[in-house]
Amino acid sequence: MAVRRRGLAAVALAVAASLLMAACGGDDDSGSAAPTSAGPVSGKFEFFSWWTGPGDSEGKQALLDLFKQQNPSITIVDAVVAGGSGTNAQAVLATRLQSNDPPDSYQRHAGAELLADIQAAKVKDLTALYDQEKWRDVFPKSLLDMITVDGKLYSVPVNIHRSNVLWYNPKALEKAGISGPPKTWDEFLQQAPKLKAAGITPLTIGPLWTQEHLLENVLLGELGPEAYAGLWNGSTDWESTEVKAALDKYTAVLKQSNLKQSAADWQPALDPIIEGDAAYNVMGDWANTYFLTAKKQAWETDYNATTAPGTEGVFNFLSDSFTDPVGANNEAATMAWLKLAGSKEGQDVFNPIKGSIPARTDGDPSKYTGYSAIPFKDWTDKNTKIVGSLTHGVVANNAWKADIETALGDFVSSGDSAKFASAVKSAYEQDK
Ligand code: GAL
């Protein structure tokens, strides 16, 4: 197959309902999945994700339980690979896809992350399923536009998560004499000495992907949504003075974190906040499930959240989606699973527990309470500016993202923003 490596037209910003970017190219010779008739399915169904551990597994379990309830004779093989944001899972998946040994359905972020699989004909065309289920009427057009490649749809988004969330311990702020979370990163830097004087770590951090997650949100907060979106489509110059200043701000912010004792994953990075030893962490809203469900913390009193500094009115989004892999063993089960993942019932069972909101527009608002009421409202607010996440697969293709991560590892230890900007810019030219 001739693979065209066209760049994503990642206009990862839109005002109100008009979201994001145009689809990109890729010759298609992958199979087309035939929708199946209703009725319980049976046999073995291997489900592949990185949803394991507290905060990530609860929503998945609820959805798999519903799948089992609807299909009592199915044997679900829950093939999880540990590691937040799928860093380890994606490596395992790549090997399996390479050797044509796919699971029956696997998790991918909606957006640029699935492109390579589409181009390599690893996933089937699900357009007929969308038509059969009338999903074009219930998924936002902007989201469908983003995941449509050459007029075809290859994955089913089960949720929308928000990346730009600042989680904090209100009691820790109070102890340090701080009246509220910072509105800008400069304000955070002013608060940091006060927090330290009270024996509180200003910011916690985990492995490289969490450092990337922080980076995207510092860039967003410092540059604003338009210039941030431009980083991913070549219209914002990585080597400009503004971007360099934002990168240097990132280094200053990171200096106020526990980088030297960084946590092994996102959950242990939140523990010092729960214990009152740290004030802030920037993480996606799967964190809500960790605080609320896994750690039984009370919303607003034990933990609280606001938009990451400088990002009020902006929704930095990502979406988990599921596929029908070419060569999977149990096509009927895969189709039944995808139907459930895309259904109103499935999304309203999964998302309130997962900390996300439905990708569909007809979710039941009464199920999204506490923290979840905020993204539920913001996502569809016509004044909200929507941009896409780098760390979670929306805006950069896998090759560029991998190069950014390599350069980031070096940047975090050296603080050399000029070198980082130049590496990212030349990688874009090479990988787009
Ligand atoms: C994200 C994923 C979320 C959550 C998080 C932490 O990439 O989209 O659903 O699982 O990683 O693992």
- Asked, for residue 333, whether it belongs to a domain, the answer is yes
Ligand 1: residues with CB < 6 A are 50-51, 56, 84-86, 109, 161, 266, 284, 286, 318, 320, 392
Q: Domain range holding 351?
A: 5-159+322-363
Q: Are residues 329 and 424 in the same domain?
A: no
The pLDDT value recorded for residue 31 is: 72
User: Which tokens sit at 373?
Assistant: 């009421």
The pLDDT value recorded for residue 17 is: 33
- Asked, for residue 373, whether it belongs to a domain, the answer is no
The pLDDT value recorded for residue 37 is: 62
User: Given a cut of 50, is residue 3 above it in pLDDT?
Assistant: no
Whether the CB-CB separation of 305 and 152 falls below 8 Å is answered with no
How many separate domains does the chain show? 2
- Asked, for residue 384, whether it belongs to a domain, the answer is no
Q: Are residues 151 and 172 in the same domain?
A: no
Residue nearest atom 5 in ligand 1 by C-alpha distance: 85
Closest CA to 40 of 65, 77, 75, 73: 73
Q: Are residues 83 and 173 in the same domain?
A: no
Q: Are residues 302 and 262 in the same domain?
A: yes
Give the CATH number, domain containing residue 190: 3.40.190.10
176-194 average pLDDT score: 98
Whether the CB-CB separation of 155 and 124 falls below 8 Å is answered with no
Atom of ligand 1 nearest to the CA of 284: 5
What is the rounded CA–CA span in Å between residue 376 and residue 233? 28
Expressed in angstroms and rounded, the spacing between residue 289 Cα and the centre of ligand 1 is: 12
Residue nearest atom 2 in ligand 1 by C-alpha distance: 85
Q: Are residues 32 and 123 in the same domain?
A: yes
The helix (run of H) or strand (run of E) holding residue 385 is: strand 385-388
Atom of ligand 1 nearest to the CA of 266: 6
Q: Are residues 400 and 355 in the same domain?
A: no
pLDDT in tens, 275-321: 999 999 999 999 999 999 999 999 999 999 999 999 999 999 999 99
What is the rounded CA–CA span in Å between residue 184 and residue 181? 9
For a mutational test of ligand 1's pocket, the pick from 49, 50, 90, 108, i.e. the residue with the most ligand atoms closer than 8 A to its C-beta, is 50
Q: Model's pTM, two decimal places? A: 0.93
- Asked, for residue 65, whether it belongs to a domain, the answer is yes
Closest CA to 341 of 370, 321, 315: 321
Neighbours of 181 (CB within 10 A): 21
Q: Are residues 218 and 268 in the same domain?
A: yes
Q: Can you say whether the dihedral through the CA atoms of 200, 201, 206, 209 is positive or negative? A: positive
What is the band of 36 on the pLDDT scale with cuts at 50, 70, 90?
A: low
Least confident of 65-74, 138-147, 205-214, 225-234: 138-147
Q: Are residues 136 and 276 in the same domain?
A: no
